[in-house]
Structure 1
Amino acid sequence: MVEPAYQATAGGALDVDREFYSRLASGHAGHELVEAFEIPIRSGRAWTVPQGHLCRIVTVEGPQVGDLNVWNRHDPRERLWASRTRQLQRAHVSTFDRLWSTLPFLRPLLTITADTLAGYGTDADGGRVHDLLGTRCDPYVNRMLTGEDFDFHCHSNLVRAVLPYGLTEFDVHDVLNVFQCTGLTAEDRYFMAACPARPGDHLEFFAEQDLLCALSTCPGGDLSIPLWGPDARDPIDVCHPIGIEVYRPAAELLDGWTPPRRAEYRALHGIRLPEGQPSK
């Protein structure tokens, strides 16, 4: 059996303290709810999650895909690095997986603490949930494929959501497709299947840093209706809102936890400094 390229060693960066994150998940009844809201269908919203808090993404009425972006609240140049997260974790994430940030930071933005769809596993077609394989739908591809304009793709929803925080379209990046079921065909082509989530299903994560998050409720809803191709039609009937809940855990539950430090590499990629110039 082939082994993954990136493997955890005891006490190393990929060795997650499962006891700590399990304690956070099991102590949910004692957490303090500090914010809760719903994101309506075909829209987006941004919100902050303080370091050391938990955030829960919930399907409140029915199956619905959500496209998630994450940044360091204080420096949006540090943001989700989807491709590296696929390599360090996996292409479909679940409990104890982390979302990693871009260079030169390379540290966990968040760690998943609970996933009610963890038992879904792999379906008969090879589909799995919480997808990092694909990215957000956008009006540029839609125009290319259909010749029509539509302003409520996930990319556009995320663009509008982050404007109040001083971010722009250039800050919107590859996403975690929460609740989305995807895989690769026998021809190694990307496919999307109907979302298996039901009311009350949730994905919960622990903020390793002060975070700015943004989520779009995908205009494709649960993706049970094709968005492009000969059978495409408007899937508005399978669109549902998504709930967001932010919790402050009891202080004692954070005993032993320290925020992640940015990557230790401090060299200059082989570039020499002028003589006498300090390197740090």
Structure 2
Amino acid sequence: MPHPDPRLTEAAYQGPALQVDRDFYGRIGAETHRRTLVQEFTVPIRSGMAWEVPAGHVCRISTVEGPQVGDLNLWNRHDPRERFWASRTRQLQAAHVSTFDRLWSTLPFLRPMATIVGDTLAGYGVDAEGGRIHDTLGTRCDPYVSAMLNGVDFDYHCHSNLVRAVLPFGLTEFDVHDVLNVFQCTGLNAEDQYFMKTCPAAPGDHFEFFAEQDLLVALSTCPGGDLSKPMFGPGVTDPVEICHPLGVSVHALDEELLQGWSEPTSPDYRGAHGLAHRPWGAS
């Protein structure tokens, strides 16, 4: 069988704007002794919490007791219209993200919101079924799908957990958006369908990111726990026994570590989407 033309399978999106300073972010991830803990808490099972991460700080999410999937949302703290854009991150970075990948924001902002600086599961790679960790392929579980597939009302899916978490910050259900599935192992099967596998995280594993701007962050501890049991379909039982809490910590960095860094800016697009011009092709 002939080998495919590599030009047909290389990344569609390329360019200098996607390059990251690995020395800078590598130091932030490695030199943990140059951090100051400013906030620490635990997100209980089947719940959600929201918190602020100032620009130039690092946020760590940890599996404190056992394997557990977390659904992550990000907003600009000062303008929630700018929020994490999972699909564009999937195109610009990867369907499954890890160290040195960036989490990008929606239009018209389109800039890095966070850069991943630590991931103890980075070595997981690709398993025999094609599963990888920390995915942008899927999105949060929600009560609407539950009602549609199982005929059951359930108020503690990730969507609902995130809704409750952001209400104190003046946001609503309409602000909750597609997530980064932290610690989740997923892929596409032979029929190009989304699958989920048991979370491989062990107690003490962590995923951490550097805030490129002032962020509001929300996290849900998925009601499916480590996803070792199915969540939807006939005969599904409530898998509460495989649920665990997640730990969160926020750290300030030594000023020296931040030398040369500045908040990313948006692309300098000066057009008007064709609104101030003649229709395309008009004479």
- With the length of structure 1 as denominator, give the TM-score of the two structures: 0.95
- Quote the Cα distance in structure 2 between the aligned partners of 1:201 and 1:59: 6
Q: Which amino acid aligns with 1:217?
A: T
Unmatched tracts of structure 2, length 5 or more: 1-5, 278-283
Q: Which amino acid aligns with 1:229?
A: G
Alpha-carbon offset, residue 136 of structure 1: 0.2
Match 2:30 to one of 26, 29, 34 = 26
Alpha-carbon offset, residue 233 of structure 1: 1.6
Tell me the SS of whatever aligns to 1:13. Answer: helix
Alpha-carbon offset, residue 231 of structure 1: 5.0
- Quote the Cα distance in structure 2 between the aligned partners of 1:74 and 1:267: 25
Q: Residue by residue, what CA displacement relative to the aligned partner does 1:84-110 show, whole Å, maximum 9, x if unpaired?
A: 000000000000000000000000000
Percent identical among aligned pairs is 71
Match 1:17 to one of 21, 35, 38 = 21
- Quote the Cα distance in structure 1 between the aligned partners of 2:235 and 2:123: 31
Aligned to 2:48: 44
Does structure 1 residue 73 correspond to structure 2 residue 77?
Answer: yes
- Quote the Cα distance in structure 2 between the aligned partners of 1:266 and 1:82: 25
Q: CA RMSD in A?
A: 0.9
Unmatched tracts of structure 1, length 5 or more: 274-280
Match 1:248 to one of 252, 256, 274 = 252
Alpha-carbon offset, residue 230 of structure 1: 3.5
Aligned to 1:105: 109
Aligned to 1:152: 156
Q: Which amino acid aligns with 1:209?
A: Q
Alpha-carbon offset, residue 7 of structure 1: 1.7
- Quote the Cα distance in structure 2 between the aligned partners of 1:199 and 1:230: 32
Match 1:133 to one of 118, 131, 137 = 137
Aligned to 2:64: 60
Aligned to 1:93: 97
Does structure 1 residue 35 correspond to structure 2 residue 39?
Answer: yes
Does structure 1 residue 165 correspond to structure 2 residue 169?
Answer: yes
Tell me the SS of whatever aligns to 2:17. Answer: coil
Aligned to 1:227: 231
Structure 1 stretch displaced more, 222-231 or 210-219: 222-231
Q: Which amino acid aligns with 2:100?
A: F
- With the length of structure 2 as denominator, give the TM-score of the two structures: 0.94
Displaced runs of 4 or more, over 6 A: none
- Quote the Cα distance in structure 2 between the aligned partners of 1:64 and 1:85: 23
Q: Which amino acid aligns with 1:258?
A: S
Q: Which amino acid aligns with 1:189?
A: Q
Aligned to 2:263: 259
- Quote the Cα distance in structure 2 between the aligned partners of 1:60 and 1:203: 12
CA contact (8 A) 2:150 2:234 kept: no
- Quote the Cα distance in structure 1 between the aligned partners of 2:197 and 2:235: 15
- Quote the Cα distance in structure 1 between the aligned partners of 2:235 and 2:24: 47
Alpha-carbon offset, residue 206 of structure 1: 0.2
Tell me the SS of whatever aligns to 2:208. Answer: strand
- Quote the Cα distance in structure 2 between the aligned partners of 1:22 and 1:184: 31
Q: Residue by residue, what CA displacement relative to the aligned partner does 1:18-74 show, whole Å, maximum 9, x if unpaired?
A: 000001111112200000000000000000000000000000000000000000000
- Quote the Cα distance in structure 1 between the aligned partners of 2:276 and 2:87: 30
Structure 1 stretch displaced more, 85-94 or 26-35: 26-35
CA contact (8 A) 2:158 2:223 kept: yes
- Quote the Cα distance in structure 2 between the aligned partners of 1:77 and 1:107: 13
Match 2:190 to one of 186, 189, 192 = 186
Q: Residue by residue, what CA displacement relative to the aligned partner does 1:204-259 show, whole Å, maximum 9, x if unpaired?
A: 10000000000000000000011112452211011000000000010000011111
